[in-house]
Chains A and B, each alone.
Chain A
Amino acid sequence: MRLKRTWLAALVALALLVAACGPDLSTPIPGGQTAAPTQAPTQAATSVPTQGVQATDTPVTSGNLPVDPNDWRTLGLADAKVTFIEYSDFQ
């Protein structure tokens, strides 16, 4: 009987341990993505080297802004290959 109680206690302790270390399934993340890491820089550098931002074909520009073709502040052809925008003041 005493041996049986010891085994039972051990099983309960094991079950609690597994539950504590397993993934939290109570708040699923949309798209199945993992939560944003909050680890310190050294952890990121050593443990998740493949988490860097993927290279992309989309260039990052400083703002290729639309231009109203009827804007009186433009010179040149509306369909010119290059649009040259100057931001300035008069003073």
Chain B
Amino acid sequence: MAPQIIKDYVETGKIRYVFRNFPLSFHNWAQKAAEAAECAGEQGQYWPMHAALFNGQDEWSGSADAVTIFKGMAGTLKLDQAQFDSCIDGDKYAEKIQADAQEGMKAGVSGTPAFLINGIFVSGAQAYAAFQETIDYALAGGEAPSMTVPADSYRSLGEANAPVVITEFSDFQ
């Protein structure tokens, strides 16, 4: 999350920012890192651990034992060490994190980062201006593009009142 978005929109009360986990399978420590953040969260230190994980990514990402590094971060943040260690060693939030990922997949997330701004899907890291445009659109009452199909569309098949609509965007080449 760009600090500018926090400053311009979160701190001014315009938006609520939510972080959800989507640990990629080929990131070997992503799951445990997410658990570390959650374990800090239960002690009221989610955001400091969130920042420490991102800032210290180079240190733990290639490590053979990142969990030990996470425990060290907990110590630096003055967390209850025994509680944190028990939490992360016991996989206390493993299911919560996977539930996040499942929910994300249902919403169309397939890679990171991905964003939902009042339901408007934005994929990948974007420049501040791109977020600004979408946020301002949502603040003005804009909604996700309505994928409506004209009643006389000759490019549709099936019942007009079917409960599910599949729209394919494609080209012929």
Contacts and interface: CB of A to CB of B under 8 A. Distances in A.
Interface size grouping (class) on chain A: 35 or more
Contacts of B145: 59-60
Interface string B15-59: 111111111100111100110010001101011001001100100
A41 B18 contact: no
Contacts of A49: 152, 154
A63 B1 CA distance: 20
A80 B100 CA distance: 22
Interface residues of B, number: 76
A50 to B, nearest CB: 6
Interface string A53-91: 111111111111101000111111110111111111111
A37 interface: yes
A79 to B, nearest CB: 8
Contacts of B78: none
B16 A80 contact: yes
B79 interface: no
Contact of A87 (B104, B117, B156): B104
A76 B17 contact: yes
B18 A53 contact: no
B151 A64 contact: no
A80 B27 CA distance: 33
Contacts of A67: 16, 18
A86 B18 contact: yes
A84 B15 CA distance: 7
A44 B153 CA distance: 10
A65 B116 contact: yes
B81 interface: no
B138 A82 contact: yes
Contacts of A41: 157
A27 interface: no
A36 interface: yes
Contacts of A90: 23, 29-30, 33-34, 37, 50, 53-54, 57
Interface of B: 1, 5-6, 9-11, 13-24, 27-30, 33-34, 37, 41-42, 44, 46-47, 50, 53-54, 57, 61, 100, 103-104, 106-109, 112-121, 135, 138-139, 143-162, 165
13 contacts: A51-B160, A53-B153, A55-B151, A60-B165, A65-B116, A75-B6, A75-B17, A75-B18, A76-B15, A81-B139, A84-B5, A86-B19, A89-B33
Sorted nearest first, the 4 A-B pairs with minimum C-beta distance are A63-B107, A61-B119, A64-B119, A62-B121
